[in-house]
Amino acid sequence: MSDSTFALAQLRQSLERLEPRRSPVGAEVFSLGHAALDAALGGGLARGRLHEIFAERDEAGSCAGFAALLGLRAGAGAGAGAGAGSGAGSRGQLLWLRTEAAQQQGGRLQATGLGELGLDPARVLLGLMPDEPALLLAAAEATRCAGLGVLLVECWGSMRGFDLTASRRLMLAAESSGVTVLVLRILAQLQFRPSAADTRWRVAAAPSTALDADAPGAPMFDLELLRRRAGHPAGPWRVEWNRDDKSFREPAEIAPLSRPLLPVVPRRTAQALRRAG
């Protein structure tokens, strides 16, 4: 009898060791800069956790852009001395992992494009993996590296290897190392994909606020918080990226959703003329 109680106690102890100690208050957070969004999240997104971002195939570009911007808010990829977000400190490198197939599908990642969003290309590393197992292996390895700021894993399709166990493993590693892990799930079926992620987002592009001469403006996203470990789903929100402040914000005005398909007079902006000349 005493044997079994002893065994039981031991089992409990070992289970306790296995169980992640998640403090109810949560980890250090980074704000997104958007008031309503931050309020709904209770201050911001948790650093050193796993966050998943879902998107349709057509939204792959916006999804990648949003993830990169989240990474920037988390303090990675910012130029020297320009730490965005709270307590960015020195952890400034962003590692972007993707497979060669993803590069075929979604195009080559451009450092100038990252720069146009406000990141410092010199602080971004790109990991181009031959296949999905290598991608997961590299992700597991990188999550354990405490010197890294943000790890971004781009997954296309269902990604059989990235199951509940794999995500939990990533989550545990991220909690101990403090690396914020952003997982892009492009074309993934949401309902069949359990994971240990802290939050789950759906991202889509939204019509931007037009500039002069109806030119496309700053990046605009439709966000939806699908799931959250310590709260309810929320949203949707429409947020605009402000590169100069390196923060998200409420769109300045509601943009008209459509315009005549063929403008009567060909329009050109002054900028375009300047550049064309």
Q: Which of 30, 66, 162, 237 binds other proteins (CB under 8 A)?
A: 66
Closer CB to other proteins, 116 or 163, in the complex: 116
Nearest-approach distance from CB 266 to other proteins, in angstroms: 5
Please list every residue from 185 through 214 that binds other proteins, using CB under 8 A.
204-208, 210-211, 213-214
Q: Which of 128, 187, 226, 234 binds other proteins (CB under 8 A)?
A: 128
Note if the bond before 236 is cis, omega within 30 degrees. Answer: yes
Q: Which of 71, 219, 228, 247 binds other proteins (CB under 8 A)?
A: 219
Q: Which of 7, 145, 190, 252 binds other proteins (CB under 8 A)?
A: 145
Which pairing describes strands 29-30 and 50-55: parallel, antiparallel, or unpaired? unpaired
| C-beta atoms surrounding 78 within 10 Å | 23
Q: Binding marks (x or -) toward other proteins, 38..57, rule CB under 8 A?
A: --------------------
Task: From residue 205, give the alpha-carbon distance in Å to each of 221, 237, 241.
Answer: 5, 12, 12
Closer CB to other proteins, 32 or 148, in the complex: 148
Q: Does 249 bind other proteins (CB under 8 A)?
A: no
β-partners of residue 45 are 30
Cα-trace Rg, the chain: 21
Are 183 and 197 in contact by the 8 Å Cβ rule? The answer is yes
Are 184 and 61 in contact by the 8 Å Cβ rule? The answer is no
Please list every residue from 100 through 119 that binds other proteins, using CB under 8 A.
106-118
